[in-house]
Structure 1
Amino acid sequence: MSTLHRPGVAAGRDAQALHRVATPDFFGWLEHTRTAGGCARPIRLTGTMTAVDRDTGRVLAEQHTDELPDRVLYKACGNRRSAQCPDCSWVYAGDAFQVVRCGLTGGKAVPASVARHPVVFATFTAPSFGPVHHRHIPRHTCADRRRCDCRPAPCHARRDAATCPHGRPGACFARHDSADARLGRPLCLDCYDHDHQVVWNAFAGDLWRRTKQAVERHLAALCRRRGIPTVQVVTDFGRVRRVPPVRVSHGKVAEMQRRGAVHFHVLLRLDGVDPDDRHALVPPPAGITVDDLDTAGHVAARQITFTAPPHPDRPQGWSVAWGEQVDVRRIGTGDGDVTDGKVAAYLAKYATKATEVTGHCSTRLTPGTIDAYADPEGDHLARLIDACWRLGRPTRHRTSGTATPGGERQANLDTGSHAYPGLRRWAHMLGYGGHFLTKARRYSVTFGLLRDTRASYRRADDGSITVGALAFVGSGWLTDGDALIANTAAAQHRERRRIGREEVAHETWSGVAA
């Protein structure tokens, strides 16, 4: 039973909430905490806030946080993970939706002409590191995939499958339910290559970088073969360069599979190059189509492979390549299945998640906390975390018995062992240390622009700017009762906004239909 749901704790929380409501300045406190109302662990700040005239710089007013309720200023934590802070992740998901959608349809400083650019939605998965329990539906007959009730196929239906060297069967005839805890778990823990998987997670970002370069090389070669000339542009340093007439802009979301391997959902948009303004977003030349972009994604996924740097536990390194399941779909083909709105909502949803689907959710691990999660003889997740911690251990590569500390550092760089200490830093992410939502610079707007736009909107009717000299004093609400009140008010505010959006959408649709 959760601590907050135990009867005694719940009674204490309710008493704290009643005490807060009974205070004379309750409504002032509620308004004061509104900006951080739904945050699970708001940041508490103390210091001075000064209102300055925007035009003249004259000081209009000054206030110390001692004059505020609770004598602190509350600020939302801004955590993007829905498992850590539902309210802040809700704001992040909204921004992520706008970032992805603007790259497909335009808007917010992105020209509307990008809606006519060829776009594909590609999924790149990790290879197999050993057989795992999975749920596969060969043919869907349901009307709505979100409420799919189709019967899955048997997991690993092999009647002639032999037992593994550890005496475990290599077959599974179960038709797993979507909530089955066995999904993503290896058929044999001892046969599964946990080391290879965490190393693959660590180098997945580099694998994607090489893949995108291969896509662009493939398209550039097509342009040469079809006689499409290069474009002459001037760089920021004033140099004249000839570049391919097409380039690829991407928006990418990383999603963790149940087995703990990351895979990428990527939007690839084909753009042209303007010789007069190389930063402009223009359509690609007519000789390159969405078919070519589709083919380039498949070709790059098959071609790109490399070997991770040597490690004392594996001097030959590990192979890093994509798995066999590479799916490329075209957006806006008219079939109604893959639309810009659905793709944007899908990517925004997974941008707020991390390792929750695997069953593991923790903050960064330390030598003091690692033993609670890592176990070389434990379950699947415990072995993955143990592999991260073991492979990321400090190693020494001395070129001689009298090597200096500086020589050790250079030797580490020469052997490539500097690539693996990051596994310890990202052990709580099963080795993956990349961002869960990234994009090309030219793909769309930035999160910073969206945040600045919101701040400017709030200050639109106020001719002053607030300058704060604030210091951190803690995080979290002062009591569980305060958290209950603030989070309830924020949930009601979100529900009102959702209903309002639905009403506006209904009125707009009704007006168009009339």
Structure 2
Amino acid sequence: MAADYTTGVPDQHTTAGPGHRPTRTAAGSSGAFVGRDESAFTRATTPDYFGWLEHVRSAAGCSHPIRLAGEVATIDRATGQLLAVTRTEDMPGGQIYKPCGNRRHAVCPSCARTYQRDAYQLVKAGLAGGKGVPATVARHPGVFGTFTAPSFGPVHTQRTDRAGRPIPCRPRRQPQPCPHGVPMRCHRTHADDDPALGQPLCLDCYDHDGQVVWNHSAPELWRRTTIAITRHIHARARALGLPWVEQVTASGKVRRVPPVKLSFGKVAEMQRRGVAHYHAVIRLDGVDPHDPDAIVPPPAGLGVDDLAAAVEHAAAVVGFTTRPHPAQPAGWRITWGDPGKGLDVRPVNADGDVTDGKVAGYLAKYATKSTEATGHVSRRLDGDTIDLYANEQGTHPERLIDACWTLGGHRDWQQLRRWAHMLGFGGHFLTKSRRYSVTFRILRGARIIWRRIEAGHEYADQPEETTLIVGLLSYAGSGWRTTGDALLANTAAAMARERDEIAREEMTAAA
């Protein structure tokens, strides 16, 4: 079996990104079509059209595929003998196409869809088992929690009454104007697509500095929260009289450890007001005295109510003060939202409203989002581009970016400038504890093997690797070489995806 370290296999969809223009290079250096028409007709009438289509199939739906040029060597793993060398200039198109792998739907819908499906499998495996996770985890106590930030000023929002009917945003009979003379009321019932949602009632009153600092500090707040939850659970186990476990380490030493561990998977979501909040699945596991990595049920006596109480306690008490800044000499106090508003905890079960499938789908959906909800989408900013997006007297997102750049001018807060395009948030949008579930790497490796089997490679299911494929490749560019290439590749990918969906529906109906 061949071990391939040169290319990955993506999902497929979409067209070339907005504003994309093909890169022109000298003939022979990367196989570019110098002086040729960029139409789809030109590509479709070339003699090797179908060979080219098969060659780019792995990246056919990507908006901005990575193009690589160089050589691919096949080596006998046992003897080290060089068996073959393939040059990219001899391949259709003269280059190897690799999907960009971007998780953001606004950047590349195709790669984001692949990431979303992997995220769904990762989260669900941690709740229901599979993908190497034992099915017994479905019986472990688990909760689904939403952790939100405090208020930094009143914003337009959607509200409902006790019956779930929509009601006006902020009705006031005799509103008191803010110090800037803006009436702090809104009698509108906002629709889902209302651009006013998340916008401050008064931009000058809103604490933009405090919000970007909170975004920047949210990963540290979450880390402290998981520590507090673990300590509360350990204290509960001690109160119940549960015995500590004598565990043998890899070095052969014996140590006494608590009988329960915490595992979690979480996703960060950017709200319309431009502040991050977390959706998290938290699971209780036991401890195997002989295998520290084993996932076993927690001891009897600890249940979902104990876990929910630990989460609620941690969210209420955890907080810290940031380092000082000239704009805030005492530092900013970082906590979750007000009690009763900053946290929502629900048990995960197979028969209730919060099932493993719903939770996995919910978290996977937000794993591909970024700052689009705020109306701001940009890449990393620098001194040359900051003025295009930052304005201390501008819109809400512009003021948040300006706050990042201004506060980040201090040497102890320079990371705020690095993450100004993310409104200060520099954490990962999807993270998990080590023992919670399978990894993205394993899921991607399984997909590569499946694609090899689908392509009819006779070595794909062999247990041992007999050859090693090494790519001596260099970066040749990003994006499709011509608009015609983008059109044909994405059309073929869309047709293949449609056939797969029809086949899946027919198989489901037959079952």
Scaled by the length of structure 2, the TM-score of the pair is: 0.88
Secondary structure at the counterpart of residue 160 of structure 2: coil
Distance in 2, matches of 1:140 and 1:278, equals 48
**Higher RCO (CA-CA < 8 Å; seq separation 6+):** 2
Q: Does 1:72 find its partner at 2:95? A: yes
More displaced 10-residue stretch of structure 1: 356-365 or 54-63: 54-63
2:436 aligns with 443
1:334 aligns with 351
Out of 462, 479, 482, the residue aligned to residue 476 of structure 1 is: 479
Matches for 1:45-124 after TM superposition, within 5 Å: 45-53=68-76, 56-124=79-147
Rate the CA distance shift 1:369–1:339 in 2: closer, same or farther, 3 A.
Answer: same
Matches for 1:57-456 after TM superposition, within 5 Å: 57-139=80-162, 151-324=165-338, 325=341, 326-332=343-349, 334-335=351-352, 337-395=353-411, 417=412, 420-456=413-449
RMSD: 2.1
Distance in 2, matches of 1:425 and 1:505, equals 48
For 1:182-216, what per-residue CA distance to the aligned partner results, in whole angstroms no more than 9, with x for missing partners? Answer: 00000000000000000000000110111111111
Distance in 2, matches of 1:499 and 1:230, equals 54
Distance in 2, matches of 1:506 and 1:341, equals 20
Compute the displacement of 1:52 (Å). Answer: 3.0
Rate the CA distance shift 1:230–1:492 in 2: closer, same or farther, 3 A.
Answer: same
Q: Which amino acid aligns with 1:26?
A: Y
Contact 2:155–2:198 under 8 Å retained in 1: yes
For 1:148-179, what per-residue CA distance to the aligned partner results, in whole angstroms no more than 9, with x for missing partners? Answer: xxx52110112232000000011111101110
For 1:323-362, what per-residue CA distance to the aligned partner results, in whole angstroms no more than 9, with x for missing partners? Answer: 1321011111623x21111111111111111111111111
Rate the CA distance shift 1:300–1:58 in 2: closer, same or farther, 3 A.
Answer: same
Q: Does 1:466 find its partner at 2:469? A: yes
For 1:229-269, what per-residue CA distance to the aligned partner results, in whole angstroms no more than 9, with x for missing partners? Answer: 11122334444322211111000000000000000000000
Which ranges in structure 1 are unaligned for 5 or more consecutive residues? 142-150, 396-416, 509-514
Where in structure 1 do 4 or more consecutive aligned residues deviate above 6 Å? Answer: 3-6
Q: Which amino acid aligns with 1:486?
A: A
Secondary structure at the counterpart of residue 208 of structure 1: helix
For 1:21-48, what per-residue CA distance to the aligned partner results, in whole angstroms no more than 9, with x for missing partners? Answer: 1212111111111011011111111100
Secondary structure at the counterpart of residue 171 of structure 1: coil
2:39 aligns with 16
Rate the CA distance shift 1:471–1:195 in 2: closer, same or farther, 3 A.
Answer: same
Contact 2:38–2:483 under 8 Å retained in 1: no
Whose helix proportion is higher, 1 or 2?
A: 1
Distance in 2, matches of 1:42 and 1:175, equals 43
Q: Does 1:489 find its partner at 2:492? A: yes
Distance in 2, matches of 1:500 and 1:296, equals 46
Which ranges in structure 2 are unaligned for 5 or more consecutive residues? 1-15, 23-35, 460-465
Q: Percent identical across equivalent pairs?
A: 57
Distance in 2, matches of 1:349 and 1:495, equals 21
Distance in 1, matches of 2:182 and 2:297, equals 56
Q: Does 1:499 find its partner at 2:508? A: no
Contact 2:17–2:63 under 8 Å retained in 1: no
